[in-house]
């Protein structure tokens, strides 16, 4: 309707590489473009979750709750970088556990998270982190981003039927599946107080009706 130029990336091509090639094409034509990264995950985009960590801390204090860990779905790392730097700025020992829901889990992926954290810290002109409280865990992605898994379906059904909370199949469903697995194996102990961060996305359920009903 608005005349947008929509480009479809070739299957298997890295999104950042595709963005770079498109940006070069636009620049070579004498035009200027601003790249909004996947998930808005740059230092500016991550500032929202720096503020979110402060808000969580304030609300927890007001409620008399002391969390040991935050668990959430991690994909383009903006959420996890923001929470991690927010914890750093408040000198909080709270662990930030991200469940990788985006791409196959490798050392390179973990390095990407660390780069996001470092870039955000530099953007805020905050003291560099010699270490941080974030961990990125793999093993829950399945065949790929957005591809349903049996554990995800179990987690989505469990929360819907016991708590009336709707999770989405791409992010929060796999993140909850990861958290349930960590609890079952004892990585998250019975005496921990855990905050599961629901990052939204439940309208995605409508695109997965067949997968969830099969």
| Strand 134-137, strand 194-196: pairing | unpaired
pLDDT for res 91? 94
pLDDT over 70 for what percent of the chain? 100
What is the H or E stretch that residue 122 is in? Answer: helix 107-123
For all residues of the chain together, what is the average pLDDT? 94
Task: Please give the pLDDT value at position 213.
Answer: 83
- Provide the pLDDT for residue 196: 99
Rounded Cα distance, 90 and 82, in Å:
12
Return phi, psi of residue 2, to 5°: -95, 5
Contact in structure between 98 and 80 (CB atoms under 8 Å) = yes
Please check the confidence at residue 166 and state whether its pLDDT lies above 80: yes
- Token digits of residue 139: 């093993």
Sign of CA dihedral 108, 109, 112, 114: negative
Using CA atoms, how far residue 122 sits from 67, 127, 132, 175, 214, in Å, is 27, 8, 15, 29, 47
What backbone phi and psi angles, to 5 degrees, belong to 161?
-85, -25
Comparing 74 with 202, the larger pLDDT belongs to: 74
Taking only the tens place, the pLDDT of each residue in 118-142 is 999 999 999 888 889 999 999 999 9
Q: How large is the average pLDDT for residues 75-96?
A: 96
pLDDT band for position 185 (50/70/90)? Answer: very high
Answer yes or no: are the C-beta atoms of 137 and 99 closer than 8 Å: yes
More confident residue, 214 or 75: 75
Cα–Cα distances (Å) from 182 to 2, 10, 116, 133, 185, in that order, read: 46, 35, 25, 17, 5
Task: Indicate the range of 6-15, 84-93, 178-187 predicted with least confidence.
Answer: 6-15
**What would the two tokens of residue 40 be?**
């808005």
Q: Which element (helix H / strand E) includes 185?
A: none
- Mean pLDDT, range 143-165, rounded to an integer: 96
DSSP 31-70: -------GGG-SHHHHHHHHHHHHHHHHHHHHHT---SEE
- Per-residue pLDDT of 13-45, as tens digits, reads 877 788 888 999 999 999 998 888 888 899 999
**Where in the chain are the domains?**
1-35, 41-213
Is the pLDDT assigned to residue 94 strictly greater than 80?
Answer: yes
CATH number of 41-213: 3.40.50.1100
């Amino acid at each position: 309707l608005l005349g947008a130029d929509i480009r479809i990336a070739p299957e298997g091509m890295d999104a950042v590489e595709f963005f770079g090639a498109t940006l070069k094409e636009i620049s070579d034509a004498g035009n200027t473009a601003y790249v909004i990264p996947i998930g808005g995950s740059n230092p500016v985009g991550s500032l929202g979750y720096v503020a979110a960590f402060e808000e969580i801390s304030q609300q927890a204090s007001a409620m008399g709750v002391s969390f040991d860990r935050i668990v959430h779905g991690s994909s383009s790392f903006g959420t996890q970088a923001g929470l991690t730097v927010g914890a750093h700025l408040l000198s909080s020992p709270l662990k930030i556990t991200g469940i990788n829901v985006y791409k196959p889990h490798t050392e390179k992926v973990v390095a990407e998270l660390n780069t996001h954290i470092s870039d955000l810290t530099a953007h805020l002109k905050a003291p560099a982190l010699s270490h941080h409280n974030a961990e990125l865990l793999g093993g829950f992605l399945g065949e790929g981003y957005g591809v349903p898994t049996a554990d995800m379906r179990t987690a989505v059904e469990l929360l819907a039927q016991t708590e009336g909370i709707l999770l989405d199949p791409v992010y929060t469903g796999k993140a909850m599946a990861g958290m349930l697995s960590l609890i079952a194996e004892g990585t998250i102990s019975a005496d921990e107080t855990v905050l599961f961060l629901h990052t939204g996305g439940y309208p995605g359920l409508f695109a997965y009706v067949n997968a969830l009903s099969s």
